Amino acid sequence: MRQMQELSAEPRPGTGKGPAYQTRRKGRIPAVVYGGSEAPQNLSVDAHTLGLHVGQGGFLTTLFMLEVGGKKQRVIPRQLQLDPVTDRPVHVDFMRLVAGATVKLAIPVRFKGQENSPGLKRGGVLNIVRHEVEMLCPADNIPDYLEGDLSGLDIHGTLHINDFQLPEGAKPTVREENFTVASIVAPTSVIEEQRAAAAAAAAAAAAPAVEEAAAPAEGAAPAAGAAPGAAPAAGAAKAPEKK
């Protein structure tokens, strides 16, 4: 489980673009905390500190102990807005987590055992169907990631969600039962060779049938425009002799 981080914040007076702009000019990022039995509260957090947390990765699945005016509350980020030019945080929303709360999160997927996978050793390619799995997790047991083991997996082998060890109390929100998370597929060169071989075999099988259809049946009348001197059809009437 990801370790809880400490973060301090200050009350932020005013709302709207003007006050938010003034907050950023002071080196702080506008924020909002909501949820639980308390009303939403406008806050600001230090821009440098927030940037460090964001840069570590997994920000939206990290629990924070947020301190505001000496009062601490457990929160989790729910939305992070970035500047489209600088890619720096410009606003963040936090949700309060009360005791026994559950939260819906997209948990990243990682893999191990690549060196023990026969399929990868033979040149297969790991095809990741789901880079993240949306899960409903207890607030006290949020995993950093889900880890799948590729050991023993050959080409065309698959890893399903049941192959992953899920945290206690956590469950996927995907309705499909035992859905596929990743598989090992043959390399493109092998697939193309198989397609070419299949096409050649199909063409070879079709060739005798085409030749048989093109050959005239025995005793059949010659086609119109046949070459002169061809034998007349059996039973043809003889022209009367001139007297």
Query: By the 8 A CB rule, do 24 and 47 touch?
Result: yes
Joined tokens for residue 112: 């191990």
The pLDDT of residue 232: 47
φ, ψ for residue 209 (rounded to 5)? -65, -35
Q: What is the pLDDT of residue 119?
A: 94
- Separation of alpha carbons 33 and 35, rounded Å: 7
Whole-number pLDDT of residue 234: 47
* Single-letter amino acid code for the residue at 222: P
Q: Which pLDDT belongs to residue 235?
A: 47
- Tokens linked to 132: 């993240």
Nearest to residue 33, comparing CAs of 61, 73, 62, 2?
Answer: 73
- Specify the pLDDT at position 23: 93
Task: Choose among 24, 72, 69, 64: nearest CA to 48.
Answer: 24
- Specify the pLDDT at position 189: 55
Return the pLDDT at 101: 87
Output the six-digit token pair for 173: 């929100």
Q: Report the distance separating Cα 142 and Cα 189, nearest Å.
A: 41
CB-CB contact of 90 with 121 (8 Å): no
Residue 236 pLDDT: 47
In one letter, which amino acid is 87?
Answer: D
How wide is the angle at C-alpha 136 spanned by C-alphas 133 and 141, nearest 5°? 100
Q: What is the per-residue pLDDT for 5?
A: 92
Q: How much is the pLDDT for 3? A: 75
Question: What per-residue confidence (pLDDT) applies to 233?
Answer: 47
Strand order in the sheet with 171-172: 146-149, 102-112, 132-138, 171-172
Q: Which residues of the chain are under the pLDDT cut of 50?
A: 226-227, 229-237, 243
